[in-house]
Amino acid sequence: MLARPRARLRAVRERELERLRRLAGFYVAVARTAVQEQFQYRVANYAYMLGMITEPIVYLVVWSTVARSQGGSVGGYTPAQLAAYYIVWTLVRNVNIVFTPFGWEWRIREGTLSGMLLRPVHPIHYDLAYFAGWKLPVVVMWLPLAVVLSFAFHPAIAVTPAKAAAFFLAIWGAYLIRSMFMWVLGMITFWTTRVSAIYMTYFTLELLLSGRIVPLGLMPPWARTLASFLPYKWTFGFPIETLAADLGGAELLTGLGAQALWTAAGVALVAVVWRFGVRRYAAVGN
């Protein structure tokens, strides 16, 4: 009598393990497709990257100019530290690009979501896997840019194994948090197609309060307080600073913990919004 529930428990556990193994297989397959697909579009990927790195270069030049005019540093940042910040910025930005919420309108209008719904896995797994795979070609193509930028702007950066490890975790934390929140934003399209004003407001807040436009240390105190209650800085400022600044061990751990919490919050939000949103979905395409 006692053996049976235990056997059933083992069977359940094995089924669950099998499900996870299959999901991992799915991730590998999709990520591999992304790698192969994106290596074909080298020119497009490079042009995209060049357009993107203009942004941090502009901030870097402006703030370095300010630092020099203030006798060598602004808010504790020297030009070399700013260079480190904005060069790491380019990598973090490349990694935290995820499926854009603007893409949802297309997904719904063209009916591609219908196809995704037929698959036995939640559609978010596809996006997570595809964009994660895309990062490999992106990072490979980013490396020469990083070398050029380093020669041009002389960053002050000291990489220790601990920092590198924390950075590796932090950029994936940023990737997950941003994936979840962009998905939630995108799903608003289930209710209304007039979404661009909402998205633009969101992106503006992100730009200002994430450490993207300027290290949060240069912001006025009230803005820093505000930023600490929002998810944005965990997707830009924190991962950048794990590598570019000298955060203590405690700060690194609390930061990674905060990222884990925001990821969990994002996952919960996605789950809830998806449940209600997908009911409203009526395929439009063919």
Partner 1 sequence: MSRLLQALVLARTFLRISALNELQYRVNFFMELVQSLLALGTGLAVLALVFSHTRELAGWSQAELLAVMGVHILVGGVVRTAIQPNMLRLIEDVRDGKLDYLLTKPRDGQLLVSVRQLNVWQSVDCLVGAIVLGIAVVRLQRQLGVGQALGFAAALPLGVLVLYCFWLCLATGAFWVVRLEFIVELFDGIYQAGRWPVGVYPLGLRLVFTFLVPLGIAVTVPAEAIVGLAGGRTLLLAAGFAAVLVAITRWVWRRGLRRYSGASA
Name the site residues for partner 1 (rule: CB under 8 A).
Answer: 41, 43-44, 47-48, 50-55, 57-58, 61-63, 65-66, 69-70, 74-75, 152, 194, 196-197, 200-201, 204, 207-208, 213-214, 218-220
Least CB distance to partner 1 at residue 198 (A):
10
Rounded Cα–Cα distance for residues 90 and 209 (Å): 17
Task: Enter the tokens of residue 4.
Answer: 């049976």
Q: Which residue has the tokens 């049976």?
A: 4
* Residue 113 vs residues 190, 206, 215: alpha-carbon distances, Å: 11, 27, 38
Q: Nearer Cβ to partner 1, position 199 or 262?
A: 199
Least CB distance to partner 1 at residue 130 (A):
18
Closest CA to 169 of 238, 68, 246: 238
Q: Nearer Cβ to partner 1, position 184 or 213?
A: 213
Least CB distance to partner 1 at residue 214 (A):
6
Other C-beta atoms closer than 10 Å to the C-beta of 124 total 17
Q: Which residue has the tokens 């854009």?
A: 100
Least CB distance to partner 1 at residue 246 (A):
22
Enumerate residues 6+ apart whose C-beta is below 8 A from 219.
227
Least CB distance to partner 1 at residue 118 (A):
28
Answer yes or no: are the C-beta atoms of 180 and 99 closer than 8 Å.
Answer: no
Q: Nearer Cβ to partner 1, position 87 or 218?
A: 218
Q: Nearer Cβ to partner 1, position 26 or 75?
A: 75
Task: Enter the tokens of residue 72.
Answer: 């060598």
Least CB distance to partner 1 at residue 47 (A):
5
Enumerate residues 6+ apart whose C-beta is below 8 A from 286.
111
Other C-beta atoms closer than 10 Å to the C-beta of 208 total 16
Q: Nearer Cβ to partner 1, position 54 or 286?
A: 54
Q: Nearer Cβ to partner 1, position 106 or 276?
A: 106
